[in-house]
Amino acid sequence: MQTPEALGPIPKALAIVYNHRAHRKPVKMPHTQSPKKPETPLQSPDGDGFEAARQAILAEILSRAPFDGWTDGALSAAARDAGFDRSVQKAAFPEGVRSALKFWSAMTDQEMSERMRAPEFSGLKIREKVAFAVSARLDILRSHKEAARRAAATLALPHYAPLAANLSWSTADTIWRGLGDKSTDFNYYSKRGILTGVWTCTFARWLADDSEEENATRAFLDARIENVMQIEKAKAKIRGLNIDPKKPIEWLARMRYPAGGSSSS
């Protein structure tokens, strides 16, 4: 396996994730062991009553989605394969495919968050932490890349647009919370909005990257994070001007003519 130094300019956060990938067993979505078909519908196994059913049905649809897509028919077939009748399926995923996509995304965010608690994470710089988190999420999805590709196609449909935006925002929010962000002002929205763009663009690039080492994806992510760092530097410069954002004319004048400058030709 290549050492972090041999990977070139890629942040060491990416090297940590990809080295971790080489020394672990393939990731599988956690689910119950091939449940036998119950004699009676499942009522309340744990949690809200249907967590075990969700896990088992999701495991089945992830194996079906590459061929059948994320459809109501595929979800129903997955529930049958998992050993649950339609009443359990409806209770576990009341919004059908939408609920299944939400659940998979939430599970992936949760595992990403757990990886961000790794001892080496705390010693990384902020840009390296972001790279680590995004790379970790892609790594989690890797064993179900075709299912992820079909999910992306479903979420690209117009009537799924609000859900797609919400899921991407939730991923960005999970990353920032893992970084310890406690902002409640405009920065809360700007940070998540920018990171949402980084995640969605990198995810799309990853789907198109079929190379074994995914070097193109890593380079793309590195470049996007560099763009973000430039934006943050610009924001810091604006904050240093100490102007009221409610006065746009003054704001623009300060940007063109810093203190001590002249507006005359």
**Domains in the chain: ranges and CATH:** 4-26+120-256 (1.10.357)
User: What band does 28 get if pLDDT is binned at 50, 70 and 90?
Assistant: very low
Q: With contact defined as beta carbons under 8 Å apart, do 163 and 155 qualify? A: yes
d(CA 59, CA 104): 10
Give which of 118, 167, 91 is closest to 17, Cα–Cα: 118
**Which among 109, 229, 106, 129 has a CA at the least distance from the CA of 179?**
129
CA–CA separation, 114 and 173 (whole Å):
14
Question: What is residue 230's predicted lDDT score, i.e. its pLDDT?
Answer: 78
Q: Which helix (H) or strand (E) holds 118?
A: none
* Residue showing tokens 């117009």: 158
Over 90: is that where the pLDDT of 37 sits?
no
Nearest alpha carbon to residue 135 among 235, 7, 30: 7
pLDDT tens, 101-158? 999 999 999 999 999 999 999 999 999 999 999 999 999 999 999 999 999 999 999 9
Query: How far apart (Å, rounded) are the C-alpha atoms in residues 113 and 111?
Result: 5
Give the model's pLDDT for residue 254: 58
Band of the pLDDT at 12, cuts 50, 70, 90? Answer: low
Q: How far is the C-alpha of 248 from the C-alpha of 212, rounded, in Å?
A: 50
- What lies within 8 Å, CB to CB, of 2 at 6+ separation is 15
Could you report the per-residue pLDDT of 177-205, keeping only the tens digit for each?
A: 999 999 888 889 999 999 999 999 999 99
